[in-house]
Amino acid sequence: MSEHGISNLSREDRVFEPPAELAAQANVTADVYDRAAQDRLGFWADAAHRLTWGTDFEEVLDWTNPPFARWFVGGRLNVAYNCVDRHVEAGRGDKVAIHFVGEPGDTRDLTYAELKDEVSKAANAITELGVQAGDRIAIYMPMIPEAVIAMLASARVGAVHTVVFGGFSSDALASRVEDCEAKLVITADGGYRRGKPSSLKPAVDEALAKLGDASPVEHVLVVRRTGRSEEGDEVDVTEGRDVWWHDVVDAASTEHAYTEFDSEHPLFVMYTSGTTGKPKGILHTSAGYLTQAAYTFWATFDHKDDDVYWCTADVGWITGHSYITYGPTANGATQVLYEGTPDTPHKGRWWEIIADKKVSLFYTAPTAIRTCMKWGEQIPAEHDLSSLRVLGTVGESINPEAYVWYRENIGGGSAPIVDTWWQTETGAHMITPLPGVTAAKPGSAMTAFPGVSAEVVDDAGEPVGNGEGGYLVITEPWPSMLRTIWGDDDRYVDTYWSRFKAQGYYFAGDGAKKDDDGAIWLLGRVDDVMNVSGHRLSTTEIESALVSHPKVAEAAVVGAADETTGQAVCAFVILRESAGDGGEDVVAELRNHVGKEIGPIAKPRQVMVVPELPKTRSGKIMRRLLRDVAENREVGDATTLADSSVMDLITAGMSGAKADDD
């Protein structure tokens, strides 16, 4: 570690050099940046050739019809073969692929040979259930090995999975099943969370009942995990539609003859929040996605064959796709998969698992680090974390205090931290330090990954100078880029490629600045999207959920700074006259309503019942002013309001109580 000029510079000027030993043996060294800059497509072609192809590609990139990219044109491969079989064929079948740790304490190790058998059996079973290449499968699972197996089985038969986060409600599940017309739902009776069973299957039943005759679902494949529902009941089974995993998968053959698919064969759709209410189905395809997920995993975490890796994300988010299911397995890595929460049964659970499994590469989110900071450094100090050699973060900028805490208390003061900027849409890491190369600054994602062209531009699309801020854009296509929004090419073009159309840049929706050395610092979203605990939530979506409650006439939602979650959801609502003052429990009622409509993660931290909302003459809600209120600041310039007395009314009329944590 070297700290330059610590005495006369602010804390944020600290720089952490890569440890010499790591740098000397790093997978990626500084010259790779030069090589990629000189021949970007050649660099990605080499990365693609780390995969095993049935038919090699003829062309690296076809960009003749922008922004619709085709990568590795003419090539054919099977994604699941690359993630599983080829390691067994190379004689590494006995290597552990997954160390599963259940929340109640049950454990299960799956070797690559066992994973191959499980994926093959699941592939045979879903084929029996009528799934063919191109069909969509919705996966709604707890964090158990079957979630990864289901995704890989889907990939193996060329189906398209859409994983819906298990914390989402039945309504969210229904809208996703409907949008992508899923034929099969793979779920579990439930999982364990916070020490007790948490049901999933009833939400599937509810979602399909809601879709009624319009439901595209033919079968529901159910893993038995908890055996009982939250209430201790038997799980309901719908005759003819529902089948148990242990009946059909366990009985299936371990031999499955896979076929190879075109490079651009669809692999999955991942729904994410946009600025309008309707979630966007981000489409990723096979070879380009796998190339970048696999290569970045190897490069960013400096993965070596004897490493034990752990990513704490859920498979229901893009991080779980690229850095649990696909990237690590494509590299034949050993990883931990943990079902539960970090504080069950005690707040040292994560550190206990790291010590037990000798985890060497650890990937988590700043919000989790802040929570652990709150709990205190005495908790990790009780465990032997000396196996850790590279730490990662993702989801939002990490505050320098949290970075330094993470480095000191988890990384033993020496493990480099990779602050990885990327998105559901980008599929894989785009801006990040490399642990053997970069002298990293706490709070900065530093520089574009080799082969990725990122820039910070002004309103006119011109690059800003060092020390200046602007919009983050990607100026050239990259292998794991989204290909479109499921069923909506126009929205794809409009959302990502219209802001800097003349230049042909992808606009990520984030603000950023370049510091005096040209390092990139992310400044958050420039649109109406919030970032709560590293997850994107759309203000519009939550507003629509609030307005769907019979007592609510109008709602405005803003993200307010929050010490733990980064941003927190704050809602301002105007009640309908018929609702009177809403009643004593109106705040709890509305919070629960949002929880039901979208999921607990979207529940507002605060609901404030107000008589008016601040609007411009054209009727646009001035969220900036509401944010001032939510963050307890002096309210800013309100002169463009149609009625300038509104802010006084709001400040005076706030009746919202701060909600309990849950």
Please identify, using beta-carbon distances, which residue of 405 and 422 lies nearer to ligand PRX. 422
Contact criterion met (CB below 8 Å) for 397 and 2: no
Please identify, using beta-carbon distances, which residue of 170 and 300 lies nearer to ligand PRX. 300
Question: Which of 528-554 are b and which e, b meaning 16 or more Cβ less than 10 Å from the residue's Cβ?
Answer: bbbbbbbbbbbbbbbbbbbeebebbeb
What is the closest distance, in whole angstroms, from the C-beta atom of residue 507 to ligand PRX in the complex?
A: 11
**H or E element in which residue 454 lies:** strand 454-457
- Residues 256 and 603: their CA atoms lie apart, in Å, by 44
- Residues 62 and 416: their CA atoms lie apart, in Å, by 37
What is the closest distance, in whole angstroms, from the C-beta atom of residue 522 to ligand PRX in the complex?
A: 3
**Quick one: which of 374, 399, 426, 32 has its CA closest to 417?**
399
Contact criterion met (CB below 8 Å) for 152 and 299: no
- Residues 300 and 291: their CA atoms lie apart, in Å, by 14
- Residues 18 and 6: their CA atoms lie apart, in Å, by 18
What is the closest distance, in whole angstroms, from the C-beta atom of residue 508 to ligand PRX in the complex?
A: 6
**Quick one: which of 403, 426, 580 has its CA closest to 508?**
426
Please identify, using beta-carbon distances, which residue of 204 and 445 lies nearer to ligand PRX. 445
Please identify, using beta-carbon distances, which residue of 80 and 537 lies nearer to ligand PRX. 537
Please identify, using beta-carbon distances, which residue of 344 and 423 lies nearer to ligand PRX. 423
What is the closest distance, in whole angstroms, from the C-beta atom of residue 424 to ligand PRX in the complex?
A: 3
Please identify, using beta-carbon distances, which residue of 351 and 421 lies nearer to ligand PRX. 421
**Terminal Cα distance for the chain, rounded:** 39
Which residues of the shown chain bind ligand PRX in the complex (CB under 6 A)?
A: 272, 318-319, 394-397, 419-424, 445, 508-510, 522, 525, 531, 535-536
The two beta strands, 196-199 and 190-193, are antiparallel
What is the closest distance, in whole angstroms, from the C-beta atom of residue 398 to ligand PRX in the complex?
A: 7
Please identify, using beta-carbon distances, which residue of 28 and 522 lies nearer to ligand PRX. 522
What is the closest distance, in whole angstroms, from the C-beta atom of residue 422 to ligand PRX in the complex?
A: 5
* Secondary structure (H, E, C), 126-173: HHHCCCCCCCEEEEECCCCHHHHHHHHHHHHCCCEEEECCCCCCHHHH
What is the closest distance, in whole angstroms, from the C-beta atom of residue 37 to ligand PRX in the complex?
A: 22
Please identify, using beta-carbon distances, which residue of 120 and 533 lies nearer to ligand PRX. 533
What's the sign of the alpha-carbon dihedral 67, 73, 76, 82? negative
What is the closest distance, in whole angstroms, from the C-beta atom of residue 282 to ligand PRX in the complex?
A: 8
- Residues 413 and 415: their CA atoms lie apart, in Å, by 6
Crossing angle for the helix pair 201-211 and 170-180, to the nearest 10 degrees: 60
What is the closest distance, in whole angstroms, from the C-beta atom of residue 429 to ligand PRX in the complex?
A: 9
Cis peptide before 67 (omega within 30 of 0): yes
Please identify, using beta-carbon distances, which residue of 422 and 572 lies nearer to ligand PRX. 422
The two beta strands, 529-532 and 520-525, are unpaired
What is the closest distance, in whole angstroms, from the C-beta atom of residue 509 to ligand PRX in the complex?
A: 6
Question: What residues contact residue 319 under an 8 Å CB cut-off, 6+ apart?
Answer: 311, 313, 363, 394, 395
What is the closest distance, in whole angstroms, from the C-beta atom of residue 219 to ligand PRX in the complex?
A: 30
Question: What residues contact residue 599 under an 8 Å CB cut-off, 6+ apart?
Answer: 165, 167, 168, 169, 172
Q: What is the CA radius of gyration of the chain?
A: 24
Please identify, using beta-carbon distances, which residue of 158 and 509 lies nearer to ligand PRX. 509
What is the closest distance, in whole angstroms, from the C-beta atom of residue 444 to ligand PRX in the complex?
A: 9
Read off the amino acid at residue 396. Answer: E
Please identify, using beta-carbon distances, which residue of 85 and 179 lies nearer to ligand PRX. 179
What is the closest distance, in whole angstroms, from the C-beta atom of residue 247 to ligand PRX in the complex?
A: 36
Please identify, using beta-carbon distances, which residue of 111 and 480 lies nearer to ligand PRX. 480
What is the closest distance, in whole angstroms, from the C-beta atom of residue 585 to ligand PRX in the complex?
A: 32
Question: What residues contact residue 620 under an 8 Å CB cut-off, 6+ apart?
Answer: none
**Quick one: which of 305, 289, 286, 296 has its CA closest to 54?**
286
What is the closest distance, in whole angstroms, from the C-beta atom of residue 600 to ligand PRX in the complex?
A: 17
Question: What residues contact residue 505 under an 8 Å CB cut-off, 6+ apart?
Answer: 455, 457, 461, 473, 474, 475, 497, 499
What is the closest distance, in whole angstroms, from the C-beta atom of residue 575 to ligand PRX in the complex?
A: 32
H helix intervals, 237-312: 245-248, 287-300
- Residues 526 and 528: their CA atoms lie apart, in Å, by 7
Please identify, using beta-carbon distances, which residue of 215 and 272 lies nearer to ligand PRX. 272
Partners of 139 in the beta sheet? 163, 186
- Residues 627 and 635: their CA atoms lie apart, in Å, by 9
Please identify, using beta-carbon distances, which residue of 208 and 428 lies nearer to ligand PRX. 428
Please identify, using beta-carbon distances, which residue of 380 and 395 lies nearer to ligand PRX. 395
- Residues 107 and 94: their CA atoms lie apart, in Å, by 17
Please identify, using beta-carbon distances, which residue of 199 and 432 lies nearer to ligand PRX. 432
